[in-house]
Structure 1
C-alpha cells in the first residue's frame, strides 16, 4: 500500500515537472537585457530558444527568428537550462565580450524547477520499485510436535484404521534400478 502511494506521488511530481518544463519552451524571456537611456531610447532585449527580439519603450517589438535549427541552444531540461545559464553568465562577466550582455530570464528558473521536480519524481519512483522487489517476510506458525500417527499411512480398507508399512515392501524388485 505504501508503495502504491509513493508511486502515485512520484507520478504526480513528475507530471508537474513536465508541465513546468513544457511551459518554458514557448516562454519568451530566457535571457533579458535592458539599455536604459531617456524615456524614448529605453530598449529591452530578450531571447528564447527560437528567436531574439528587442522591444522599445513604446512597446513595439522587432523579432528575428534563428535561421537554422542547428543554431539553437539547449538540449534537455536540466542540462539545457544549465548550459544556457552558463553561457549567459560567462558572457556577462567576461570583460572582453563587447556584444549585448544579458541576464538570466524567468524561463530558466521555471525550467530548473520543472527539471528538479522530474528528477525528484524519478527518484521516488525508483525507491518505490526497490521496495516492491524485496521478498515478503514469511511468518512461520508452530504446529506443535508431530505424533507417531503422522508417520503412518492410512489403510485403504477401513476408515480410521492405521497400519504401519515397511518401506522395503512398498516397492517392487525393480524400484531401485
Structure 2
C-alpha cells in the first residue's frame, strides 16, 4: 500500500479517535441508573468523571461537580488520569500527524524526517488508545462489581449497597440504586480502538517510506583499476599520434 494512503488513513482515524476521547471524557453518562425494575421513575440519575447529575420527570436537570481528590477511590482517580493522558497524547499525535503528511509541502523537510514524525504520531495514537480502553475497562469493571453487590444488598441482604468508586447515590424506600454502563463507556472503547488502528497505519507508513528511501539510494559503479590504467595509456598514445600528425 502507498505510504501516502497509510499516512492519510492514520491521520483521519487518529483525528476521529481524538474527538471521541474528548467527547467521552467530557460526557456525564459514564454510569446510569438501571431502571429495569422501576415501575414509575421520578428521578433519573447518572454520573460522569466530573459531575453527578439527576434529571426529574419534569425535565429539570441538576448536576453537582465532583470536586476533591481524597473523597474518591484510587480506581476512579486512575480512570480520570488515563482519560486525560489519552486526550493529551491523541491531540499531540494529531498535530504531529498533520506536519508529517506527504501531501503537505514544507520548506526543508525531507521524507525521512516526515517518516520519523509519522512514527512518533503513531506511537502516540497507540498509547492514547490503550489508555482510553484501559480507563473505560477499569470503570466498567467497578460498575459490574458494585452492580452485583448492590443487587445482593437490596434483595438478599440487610445493608445498603455502595458504589466502590464513590458513585453511589442514596435511593428512596431504603434501597440503593443500581447502575449500569453509560454511553460514554462505549464512546471511549470505540475511540480507543480507532486510535489503535490509526497508530498502526502511521507506523506502517513509516516503514514504507523508509523502504522506498533505501531502494531509491543512488548506486556507485565500481571500475577496476586495471581498466582505468589501460584507458589512460590509450589516451596518452592517441595524444602522441595527434602530435605527430601535426608535426
Question: What's the TM-score, normalizing by structure 2?
Answer: 0.53
Q: Distance in 2 between matches of 1:17 and 1:60?
A: 32
Scaled by the length of structure 1, the TM-score of the pair is 0.72
- 2:51 matched residue in structure 1: 51
C-alpha displacement at 1:62, in angstroms? 3.1
Within a 5 Å distance, the mapping from 1:23-172 to structure 2 comes to 23-35=23-35, 36-38=38-40, 41-69=41-69, 71=72, 72-73=76-77, 74=79, 75-76=82-83, 77-94=132-149, 95-96=152-153, 98=161, 99-134=176-211, 135-136=214-215, 152=230, 153=232, 154-155=235-236, 158=239
Q: Offset of 1:113 from its aligned partner? A: 0.8
Structure 2 residue runs of 5 or longer lacking an equivalent are 84-131, 154-159, 162-175, 243-247
5+ residue gaps, structure 1, are: 141-145, 162-177
Q: Larger helix proportion, structure 1 or 2?
A: 2
Larger Rg: 1
- Which segment drifts farther, 103-112 or 87-96? 87-96
Is the contact between residue 34 and residue 43 of structure 1 (CA under 8 Å) also seen in structure 2?
Answer: no
User: 1:157: how far off?
Assistant: 7.2
Of structures 1 and 2, the one scoring higher in RCO (CA 8 A, sep 6+) is 2
Secondary structure class of the residue paired with 2:189:
helix
Query: What SS does the corresponding residue of 1:54 show, helix, strand or coil?
Result: strand
What SS is found at the alignment partner of 2:12?
Answer: helix
Note closer, same or farther for the CA distance 1:155–1:102 as it changes in structure 2 (3 Å cut). Answer: same
Number of residues paired by the alignment?
Answer: 153
Contact 2:11 2:202 in 1 (8 A): yes
CA contact (8 A) 2:33 2:46 kept: yes
Distance 1:151 1:24, change over 3 A: same
Q: CA RMSD in A?
A: 3.1
After superposition, the Cα gap between the structure-2 partners of 1:158 and 1:16, relative to the gap in structure 1 and judged at 3 Å, is: same
C-alpha deviations, 1:135-172, integer Å up to 9, x for none?
318899xxxxx9x97651121872887xxxxxxxxxxx
